Each structure stands twice: as C-alpha cells, then as structure tokens.
Amino acid sequence: MITDVTYLPESPAHDVEIEHINEEAFGPGRFVRAAYKIREGGPHERALSFVALHDAAVIASVRMTRVAAGKGTGLLLGPLAVRPAFKNLGIGRKLVRLAVQASEQAAMPLILLVGDEPYYGPLGFRRVPRGHLTMPRPVDPARILAIEIVPGSLSDFQGDVQHADRFTISGTATACI
C-alpha cells in the first residue's frame, strides 16, 4: 500500500479526470456495455461515489448508480478504474470498500455489478443466480455479481435491471425512490 493517496467522495470538479481514466481503462467499447446502458438512464450518486487522489490528481474512481429491478432497488457499482501507474497497490479494493461502506450507511439494500468474480469475490460479492436478473445488453451471467447489504434483498430485486429514474410502473415512467 502507498500512503500518500487520499480518498474523497466524488465532486463535479473530478468529472473531466474521471472521464479520462475511464477512457484509458475501457476505451470506446465502454459505451456498448450493459452497465453503461443502465447508467445512461440517469445520474449517478456522487455521495456514494469515490475518487483516489495523488498529488492533487485523480488516479482512480468508482461510481455508484441507483438501479431498480422488480420490487427491489439497489446500486450498480462501476465503472471502477485505476490509472495504470497505480495498479496493484490496493487502490481499487479500497475504493470498493469505501463505496460498500457508504452504501451500508445510506441503508441501501444491495449492490450489483458486472465484473470479475476473482477480484470482487474476496470483497464480498457473490454470483447472482443465472436468470434472476436481465441486463439491457448481453452479459456473461458469471459476471453478474451482487452483495446483499440487507440479507435476502436480492429476492425482491429480480427481472429487468434499469436506472432507478427509469423504473416504470404500469408503463409510466416514474422515479421509484
């Protein structure tokens, strides 16, 4: 672990640097990912999203977005990205832990993500049963992971995953929380 890294909740002042970090990490392919499609539905939660700073520059970012599925609500974690020069220093894991902790404090029921189980498993994320959730674009089911902050909350969180602002009841767009 390096010590001169500061972790802060995200602010609008970080937006440009975060965009560069995500471009560097994921390239133009990020725009066709299922998680990106969900995030297009509305804003992310700045208070639950975090950046890592080194020498006043943003070197890593994790964003959290409110989502809904069936009768359930939760958060979608991502993108998570660390600048190449700062990889493998524990920064990604620290950002995930901060986001999970903030989500717990905000009494969110669960956190969903699309990512690598070997990385997120040790951080508490478990594979969502195949067919339980439907993403707006094709996703390897083995990469749909979740952590239940409220035990059992995944049972209500079922079906099509959308941005919470896009959640529809009887076909009428409405904010659900």
Ligand X SMILES: CC(C)(COP(=O)(O)OP(=O)(O)OC[C@H]1O[C@@H](n2cnc3c(N)ncnc32)[C@H](O)[C@@H]1OP(=O)(O)O)[C@@H](O)C(=O)NCCC(=O)NCCS
Query: Which of 116, 155, 174, 175 lies at the binding interface for ligand X (CB under 6 A)?
Result: 116
Question: Which of 2-10, 79-87, 146-154, 163-171 is the region at the interface with ligand X (rule: CB under 6 A)?
Answer: 79-87
CB of 176 to ligand X, least distance (A): 26
Give the residue, chosen from 20, 30, 54, 93, that forms a contact with ligand X under the rule CB under 6 A. 93
| Min separation Cβ 16 and ligand X, Å | 18
CB 60 within 8 Å of CB 82: yes
Q: Which of residues 21 and 154 has its CB atom nearest to ligand X in the complex?
A: 21
Exactly one of 48, 76, 82, 164 binds ligand X (CB under 6 A); that residue is 82
- The neighbouring-strand residues paired with 69 are 72
